[in-house]
Structure 1
């Protein structure tokens, strides 16, 4: 760990951030001077699991996100190899770092109500019912894993970090946008039916709806169409279409709220997902939230 920390000097941070010209001077300054709201770090034989500590580590996370979101899914961008927005310098970032390369291979952006009162999810959803829940909450966002590390060990490390952050912030709820990286309305409608039929779409949260430009009438019509009996086999098989990360939330005891939002910029559907710590699967609590 000492060797890892030694390379993070004000000079190296300034050099790394200075190369990014397509973002404002203010944002470059905030990245360069970034500090987290809290601290956490532990490791195992393969990974370091931590809350990133400075601008250099933040740049590594932003580059990983760019590689996954823009490179893998071929989204267009004018940024020089980073995925960044105005929220990044105010929130915490969980990183899973490969000890062999000292580079992040998995990450989450974490926003705790202990430190912030504004949420990225509010851009897409009317979500007063979530905001009004008692107790501290954590908004999860920008989850991604390097394609070479998409396995159980990495997912377990991410859950380990999430569990630690919940404990540190004494939070009861986790929520955030879970993406289906496709603009295929037929496929997403089948997933929607499977979620509803499996009990992962409770009626009490139907009031949480996408905001104006994130509403998709085509999706709503497709849900009605695929409710027909002839689509029953496809609805039952839709579990195979559910993204692994979203499926892990459901297995942990979470659920989705209402209709998904359609993000035109990223060409994906986002479900607002909610997990109540008091209703989590006991095995997850024992393993990750000790």
Structure 2
């Protein structure tokens, strides 16, 4: 069933079976996107210690029952139970301390290769907006990963190409523990904007500094912050329109 004929439904995973479906989709997308043999395992699941603490947003094609999109969400209470947000493995977030109780972290975004027309991403963001409203949070944060399979040229070009309005105010900047070495790359490469990063920027999100170097996934991770008050009005009308709750 092609995405254009699909009936898409967004929800939160409520059973272990649904979490396994999410982990199976993440495994497929991550192994294909980052092309890392280290990620391969017999269960064909992408699992880590954060999964049990987080909520899992999923989009299902009701015609086939397949999970075709997912986002992992960690609210303030879950982060307190876990001890830290996932992003704190890569970035010093001490400058955002005042926002911790009002922020949802979104990560591990995946869309099935056959459903990348944009509809699934829109469904995920609509579900995310409802989740934030229910949690009483007014800031969204997370990492947008850029593959380094081209040697890193695109990641460096992206960072150099961000306009002033794309960069967070100084008070919201974060510091990567392992910075990706932007200066080692010659300028002049034409950047290609990945869909997730494009979604953040079009919605009004900020890039909060230089990317971290995620050697495990062979990626450059850009830390993103989106205050809902800054959400572009076109997207706010879609994401925040009245909808049935989960």
User: Please, what TM-score do these two structures have when normalized by structure 1?
Assistant: 0.74
Residue among 50, 54, 74 paired with 1:111 = 74
Deviation (angstroms), 1:171: 0.9
Q: Structure 1's 60 and 192: CA in aligned 2 closer, same or farther, altered over 3 A?
A: same
SS in 1 for 2:211: strand
Aligned partner of 1:259 in structure 2 is: 210
The answer on whether the counterparts of 2:76 and 2:100 sit within 8 Å (CA) in structure 1 is no
SS in 1 for 2:47: coil
Q: Structure 1's 281 and 248: CA in aligned 2 closer, same or farther, altered over 3 A?
A: same
Aligned partner of 1:13 in structure 2 is: none
Residue among 77, 82, 106 paired with 2:45 = 82
Once superposed, which parts of structure 1, at least 4 consecutive aligned residues long, lie more than 6 Å away? none
Could you report, residue by residue, the CA deviation over 1:134-178 in whole angstroms, capped at 9, with x for unpaired residues?
Answer: 751100110010000001211211111111111111110000111
Larger Rg: 1
Q: Structure 1's 206 and 287: CA in aligned 2 closer, same or farther, altered over 3 A?
A: closer
* Residue 273 (str. 1) matches residue 193 (str. 2): no
When the two structures are aligned, how many residues end up with a matched partner? Answer: 230
Residue among 176, 186, 189 paired with 2:142 = 176
User: Please, what TM-score do these two structures have when normalized by structure 2?
Assistant: 0.87
Aligned partner of 2:3 in structure 1 is: none
Pairing 1:150-189 to 2, within 5 Å after superposition? 150-183=116-149, 184-189=151-156
Deviation (angstroms), 1:78: 4.7
Q: Structure 1's 206 and 158: CA in aligned 2 closer, same or farther, altered over 3 A?
A: closer
SS in 2 for 1:188: helix
Hey, what's the Cα distance between the residues in 2 that align with 1:114 and 1:86?
Answer: 16
Deviation (angstroms), 1:91: 0.3
RMSD: 1.8
Pairing 1:11-50 to 2, within 5 Å after superposition? 46-50=7-11
Structure 2 residues without counterparts, runs of 5 or longer: 1-5, 242-246
